Amino acid sequence: MLEMLGTSLVSALTPPQIIYMIIGVLFGVVMGFIPGIGGVFVLVMLLPFVFNLSTEAAIALLISAHAVVATGGSISAILFGVPGSPVNAATVFDGYPMSQKGQAGRAIGVALGSSTLGGIIGAIVLLMLIPVVRPIVMSFGPAEMLFLALTGVSMISVLSGSNPIKGAIAGMFGILISLVGEDWVTGAMRYTFNSLYLWDGLKMLPVLLGLFAVSEMVHLCITGGAIAKGRVKIEDSPITGLLDVVKNWWLVVKCAVIGAVIGIIPGLGGDIANFIAYGYAGQSSGNKNNMGTGVVQGVLGPESANNAKEGGALVPTLAFGIPGSAGMAVLLGALTIIGLIPGRDLLGPQLSSVILIIAMLVISNIFGAALILPFVKYLARITTVNVTILAPIVLIITMIGAFNASRSFGDIVTLLIFGFIGYEMKKLGYSRPALILGFILGVIIERNMWLSYNLYGIEMMKRPVVLILTMLLLLIFFGPVIKSKMAHKKGVI
Amino acid sequence: MGKEKNIFAIVLLLILIIMVLLAFGFNKFAAFMPLVIGIPAVILAAVNIFVEFKHDKEAEQKGLEKTSSKFSWWVAHGDELLIWFWVLGLVILVGMIGVLWGGGTFLFLFLLFKSKQKLHISLLITIIFMLAIYTFLFNVLSLKLYPGILL
């Protein structure tokens, strides 16, 4: 396999492939930067061009573009508090406060370094799992997904900041609004008030952009000045950020593994990978109480996870033809167009193409970061521009992004309503991240709860992965209590 | 802030109560999740209001927060209200004449009156922005831009 990897690397680095990779990376980064344009859109846009390309060139174009979308999205998340797509939502929590402190360059450096490392680790995970992937993917049924989603809910405590009651209310409210629309089990309409727009439920994009982008822009217009507050020294060099990644390399690796593992599970959706990694980064770095104030770990955790998840998501896509997300479904279609049939063929006679995909993942992640690095200095300067010029432009682009969620005016109204809710929540100390996490997980929990109940009944608790996840959940909930009791006991003795 | 905090908490509680009450009208499978999440959420929201009121009362006793007059409310929230009117204006403009023209009009007016830029600078930024949106997002990327109900 190593020999094949070498051959694929050589094949990936031939001039035509490099040109297609450059085009793909440029396209992916720019598209990722624009709010509302995710990986799916990028792949759909490139799809018509792959018909006339060789297999290698098509892989170079598609994989490189898809791999760096999250990297592009992290820049708008850090500079303006506007996540490029849901996978960048958790980057806003600490990346944007870093920009406000004048550390935009450092934050982008952290994002680029951890994204690159995460992407490479994701590719390595894919490479290592190919021979053993079948039992791993097959061991994840609805019951396992339910408990993994419940583990995700436990991260609300990390995202709640200093007010756990308000955090819990926000998380529960998020779960409740995720239930708007047609019930998956019975087909009954819930909270739709006879509105056709609400039949399909509230769309993720307008809710997310409203909560973070609109509320942030309104807040900035009121406070005035620039994004970088006060007379802060603008740290526009990304070098400090890259050094932060080196210093925290073990945390980056662990978060990347979290991202890759979540990416592997079809149907769970990579959107939660960055939240779980964020929560983990906060807990394991001992910086839990400072999360949300502009902590380096709050950027490198989610950024490494969201790039690593692409490698993980490719595992079921390539091995079984089971796309874990909409993006992977489009990629699957594209691979079929260029003659790659996922499954036995791809892992047998066409294995060299899989290795080329892995090589492309690695190279495009490095190349994406290298492409942005020279511009970080100028990007960081945007935070010093008067916000009354930036805000209306960002608001209109956000509106265009939100509208493309379902191409209905309802998207714009949703954006406005959640913009107002997000603004009030920010001002009054309610956790917006907790709400969005609840919103993402609500539907996943409900669907998998009914599925696993119908399939296994109470027997689901006896499944090995469920048992492990239950123990993990108990540890998350009672761990801090036991830890403090033990510390107290030690203090008494 | 204290009063505003309480109003928001009460509105949130009312929304949660309405969601729970509506859930009682769903069939048992559809109602399960809204009730399992909604009832504890209502209890927590009520506890939160109690905590907020208690905190406010303690602060008032210590003389930290005074009841704000109508005048001071306008001083504190006038800017906020104005910005929200701008945002609402943007939504109405977009709804009427679409993202391209509505967004362009909003940008021009915002730059001219709120940002206090000179007329030619406001116009220049608006034209460049509209051209960029039209060329890049509409033509190159074929992104759908909301056309508005009047155009």
Instruction: Read off the pLDDT of each residue in B18-28 and give the average, rounded to a whole number.
Output: 94
Q: pLDDT by residue (tens digit) across A152-196? A: 777 776 667 678 888 889 999 999 999 999 998 888 999 999 899
**What is the distance between the alpha carbons of residues B101 and A260, in angstroms, rounded to a whole number?**
43
Interhelix angle A15-33/A351-372, nearest 10 degrees = 60
Over chain A, what is the mean pLDDT?
A: 83
Whether residue B121 is predicted with pLDDT greater than 90 in this model: the reply is yes
Highest mean pLDDT: which range of A2-11, A140-149, A295-304, B84-93: B84-93
* Residue A486 counted as domain residue: no
A48 contacts in chain B (CB < 8 Å): none
Cβ–Cβ gap A183/B88 under 8 Å: no
Residue A459 has a pLDDT of 86
Whether residue B67 is predicted with pLDDT greater than 60 in this model: the reply is no
Written in H, E and C, the secondary structure of chain A is CHHHHHHHHHHHCCHHHHHHHHHHHHHHHHHHHCCCCCHHHHHHHHHHHCCCCCHHHHHHHHHHHHHHHHHHHHHHHHHHCCCCCHHHHHHHHHHHHHHHCCCHHHHHHHHHHHHHHHHHHHHHHHHHHHHHHHHHHHCCCHHHHHHHHHHHHCCHHHHCCCCHHHHHHHHHHHHHHHCCEECCCCCCEECCCCCCHHHHCCCHHHHHHHHHHHHHHHHHHHHCCECCCCCCCCCCCCHHHHHHHHHCHHHHHHHHHHHHHHHHCCCCCHHHHHHHHHHHHHHHCCCHHHCCCCCCHHHHHHHHHHHHHHHHHHHHHHHHCCCCCHHHHHHHHHHHHCCCCCCHHHHCCCHHHHHHHHHHHHHHHHHHHHHHHHHHHHHHHHHHCEHHHHHHHHHHHHHHHHHCCCCCHHHHHHHHHHHHHHHHHHHHCCCHHHHHHHHHHHHHHHHHHHHHHHHHHHHHHHCHHHHHHHHHHHHHHHHHHHHHHHHHHHHHC
Instruction: Mutation target for B interface from A184, A399, A437, A453: give the one with most B CBs within 10 A.
Output: A399
A79's tokens: 């500079």
Give the range among A33-42, A121-130, A439-448 with minimum mean pLDDT: A33-42
- Taking a C-beta distance cutoff of 8 angstroms, is the pair A218, A485 a contact? no
Residue B130 has a pLDDT of 94
- Domain boundaries, position A144: 2-479
Q: Which residue of B has its CA nearest to A386?
A: B115
Q: Which residue of A has its CA nearest to B39?
A: A172
**What is the distance between the alpha carbons of residues A84 and A138, in angstroms, rounded to a whole number?**
32
A30 contacts in chain B (CB < 8 Å): none
Q: For residue A305, give the amino acid letter.
A: A
A442 contacts in chain B (CB < 8 Å): 33, 37
Whether residue A364 is predicted with pLDDT greater than 90 in this model: the reply is no
Cβ–Cβ gap A388/B115 under 8 Å: yes
Instruction: Report residue A491's pLDDT band, with 50, 70 and 90 as the boundaries.
Output: low
A399 contacts in chain B (CB < 8 Å): 90, 94, 99, 103
Whether residue A302 is predicted with pLDDT greater than 60 in this model: the reply is yes
Instruction: Read off the pLDDT of each residue in A341-367 and give the average, rounded to a whole number.
Output: 79
Of B12, B110, B143, the CB nearest to A392: B110
B111 contacts in chain A (CB < 8 Å): 388-389, 392
Q: Is residue A255 exposed (0-12), middle (13-18) or buried (19+ Cβ within 10 Å)? A: buried
* Residue A490 counted as domain residue: no
Residue A134 has a pLDDT of 64
Whether residue A477 is predicted with pLDDT greater than 80 in this model: the reply is no
**What is the distance between the alpha carbons of residues B88 and B102, in angstroms, rounded to a whole number?**
12
Instruction: Report residue A374's pLDDT band, with 50, 70 and 90 as the boundaries.
Output: confident
B92's tokens: 């109405």
Distance from CA of B70 to the nearest CA of A (A): 20
Cβ–Cβ gap A389/B125 under 8 Å: yes
Instruction: Read off the pLDDT of each residue in B128-140 and give the average, rounded to a whole number.
Output: 87
Whether residue A354 is predicted with pLDDT greater than 60 in this model: the reply is yes
Residue A54 Cα distances to A4, A50, A216, A339, angstroms: 19, 8, 45, 10
Distance from CA of B83 to the nearest CA of A (A): 7
Instruction: Read off the pLDDT of each residue in A281-297 and give the average, rounded to a whole number.
Output: 80
Q: What's CA A250's distance to the chain center, in Å? A: 20
* Residue A326 counted as domain residue: yes
**What is the distance between the alpha carbons of residues A429 and B55, in angstroms, rounded to a whole number?**
14
Q: Give SS3 for B145.
A: coil
Contacts within 8 Å (CB) and 24+ apart, B40-46? B40/A172, B41/A168, B41/A169, B41/A172, B41/A173, B41/A176, B41/B16, B42/B13, B42/B16, B42/B17, B44/A165, B44/A168, B44/A169, B44/A172, B45/A169, B45/B9, B45/B12, B45/B13, B45/B16, B46/B13
Over chain B, what is the mean pLDDT?
A: 87
Residue B20 has a pLDDT of 96
Instruction: Report residue B4's pLDDT band, with 50, 70 and 90 as the boundaries.
Output: confident
Residue A270 has a pLDDT of 62
B83 contacts in chain A (CB < 8 Å): 218, 221-222
Which has more pLDDT, A419 or A361?
A419
**What is the distance between the alpha carbons of residues A404 and A402, in angstroms, rounded to a whole number?**
5
Residue A460 has a pLDDT of 85
Q: pLDDT by residue (tens digit) across B92-117? A: 999 999 999 999 999 999 999 998 99
A192's tokens: 């739709």
Q: Which residue of A has its CA nearest to B102?
A: A396
* Residue A488 counted as domain residue: no
Distance from CA of A386 to the nearest CA of B (A): 9
Instruction: Report residue B43's pLDDT band, with 50, 70 and 90 as the boundaries.
Output: very high
A172 contacts in chain B (CB < 8 Å): 16, 37-38, 40-41, 44
Q: pLDDT by residue (tens digit) across A206-223? A: 898 899 889 888 988 888
Residue A38 Cα distances to A67, A195, A383, angstroms: 11, 27, 24
Q: Is residue A377 exposed (0-12), middle (13-18) or buried (19+ Cβ within 10 Å)? A: middle
**What is the distance between the alpha carbons of residues A483 and A480, in angstroms, rounded to a whole number?**
5
Q: Which residue of A has its CA nearest to B15?
A: A173
Instruction: Read off the pLDDT of each residue in A478-487 and give the average, rounded to a whole number.
Output: 70
Residue B12 has a pLDDT of 93
Cβ–Cβ gap B51/A214 under 8 Å: no
A39's tokens: 């990986």
Q: Give SS3 for B97.
A: helix
Residue A201 has a pLDDT of 92
* Residue A485 counted as domain residue: no
**What is the distance between the alpha carbons of residues A176 and B18, in angstroms, rounded to a whole number?**
12
Percentage of residues in chain B having pLDDT higher than 70: 89
Instruction: Please list the residues that pair with A226 across neighbouring strands.
Output: A386
**What is the distance between the alpha carbons of residues A299 and A228, in angstroms, rounded to a whole number?**
17
B62's tokens: 């210590």
Whether residue B32 is predicted with pLDDT greater than 70 in this model: the reply is yes
Instruction: Report residue A397's pLDDT band, with 50, 70 and 90 as the boundaries.
Output: confident
* Residue A487 counted as domain residue: no
Which has more pLDDT, A229 or A349?
A349
Residue A230 has a pLDDT of 58
* Residue A491 counted as domain residue: no
Residue B51 has a pLDDT of 87
Q: pLDDT by residue (tens digit) across A83-127? A: 877 788 889 889 989 988 888 888 999 999 999 999 888 888 888
Whether residue A464 is predicted with pLDDT greater than 90 in this model: the reply is no
Which has more pLDDT, A310 or B120?
B120
Residue A15: partners with Cβ closer than 8 Å, 6 or more residues away? none
Domain count, chain A: 1
Residue A11: partners with Cβ closer than 8 Å, 6 or more residues away? A17, A56, A356, A359
Residue A423 has a pLDDT of 93
* Residue A492 counted as domain residue: no
Q: Which residue of A has its CA nearest to B8?
A: A424
A45 contacts in chain B (CB < 8 Å): 141
Cβ–Cβ gap B87/A214 under 8 Å: yes
